[in-house]
Structures are given as C-alpha cells and as structure tokens.
Amino acid sequence: MIELAFSILASDFAHLADEVAAAERGGGTIVHIDVMDGHFVPNITFGPPVVKALRPITKLPLDCHLMIEDPDAYIAAFVEAGADMISVHQETCRHLHRTLQVIEQQGALSGVVLNPATPVETLIEVLPMVHYVLVMSVNPGFGGQKFLPLAVDKIAHLARLREEMGLNFRIEVDGGVALDTVELVVRAGADMLVAGSAVFEKGRTEQNAVELLRVARAAVAGA
C-alpha cells in the first residue's frame, strides 16, 4: 500500500494545525517530522515540544526523522511527546542495533535512514529488526532540494533484499519526491513517500496531496 508521509518542514508554521488537516484531507496518512540539531545537519528545526503540540490535533501516526547526533539521548523524550515511529540515521549510531532495540522498547516503530553516500549493505544485519528503511534522495538538512537519482537503485536493492531475506520492512523515500519523480521511486519499490514542498507549495496543500497520490498509485497499477 502506498502512503503519503507529508513533511511539515515545508508547511506554514503559523497555521500548522490547518496545514496538517489539509494534507490529511488530501489523503496523507503519516505526519513526517524532520528533527534537525545544527550538528549532524546544518539546520535546526523541531524538538519534542512540537511533537507534543501536534499529538492532540491529529490521529495520524507521527513519524519522527531524527537528524541529530546522539539520538539515543532523545528517543524517550520523543516517544513521551507522542511519536509513533522513530527513524535514526545509520551514520549517527555507533551501536545501531542497540538504538533500534531502544526505540522498540520505548513502544515506537523503528526505522533506519541512509544518507545518499551510505551503502545499503551497511544495514544487512539489522534489516530483520526494523519496521522501515528510509532512503534519503537528497542530502539531509533542507527541504526543496533536487532529487538524487542514485536513490532509485538503492530502493530497488532494498526491495530485492526484502524478498530474498523473506522480510517485510517498509521502504520510505525522502527528498525531492514530487510529480516528476514519484513514479520512479514507486516503481523501484518505495511505499512510504515523504514529500514536503510538493505537498505544501502554493497554498494548495489538499489538492497537491491528492494529485501526488494519484500519480503514485497509477505508477503501481502500471508497474
């Protein structure tokens, strides 16, 4: 099943609740929250208080994408604030296996993220324990960047591994997903589509979400 995880990074923060409601009306089913610390990535965004503020305004799962150094120190705080899904970057975890265990023990679904330069092979040992793998199709840190085509092969590689290993983790893709790139990533095997600018641009949040999902679902049907 294809799902749209709309990234609130591109939304109008002064009307965050309205933006989330509009994306949900357009068919979005996951709220993607980009947490940035100014160290792992050169930008600063949200922390647990924003997750806590979002929790009562939607029933959709809150997907926290942690682009922060030492994510272990913050996992409990994000779960307490209301996170349902937490993903950590492979590049930030010296003890990735333990970090993924901590996410599950705290009661959230665990995800692991790969930067564009990080090979899929670095995840072989942890694939059986994750609920989702997030393939970055831009270098993390900012919304509105150009899609990197190398992500397509990585998605396809993960889909093959999932089949060969008899697993059922989901494949999420993040960065530059828009009307002109969504078919590529869906055909390669992505089933959770993160989109920020493509959803929230031009104040047409609901219509943008509808259209993106329509094109994505048509790509599955025609794949």
Of ligand DX5, Zn ion, none, which one sits near residue 9, judging by CB under 5 to 8 A according to partner kind? ligand DX5
C-alpha 202/C-alpha 137 separation (Å) is 23
Measure Cα distances from 36 to 5, 67, 89, 142, 178 in Å.
18, 5, 12, 9, 22
Counting contacts by CB under 6 A, is residue 37 touching ligand DX5?
no
- The nearer residue to Zn ion, 27 or 89, going by C-beta atoms, is 89
Q: How many CA atoms lie within 13 A of 138 on its CB side?
A: 18
Catalytic residue among 37, 63, 84, 174: 174
Counting contacts by CB under 6 A, is residue 194 touching ligand DX5?
yes
C-alpha 115/C-alpha 6 separation (Å) is 19
Kindly state the number of chain residues that form the binding site for ligand DX5, as judged by CB under 6 A: 21
Residue nearest to Zn ion (CB): 65
Counting contacts by CB under 5 A, is residue 19 touching Zn ion?
no
Structure tokens at 103: 């996410």
Catalytic residue flag (residue 63): no
- The nearer residue to ligand DX5, 101 or 197, going by C-beta atoms, is 197
C-alpha 123/C-alpha 114 separation (Å) is 9
> Which region, judged by CB under 6 A, interacts with ligand DX5, from 3-11, 56-64, 75-83, 149-157?
3-11
- The nearer residue to Zn ion, 41 or 213, going by C-beta atoms, is 41
C-alpha 81/C-alpha 214 separation (Å) is 33
Question: Which residues participate in catalysis according to the annotation?
Answer: 34, 174
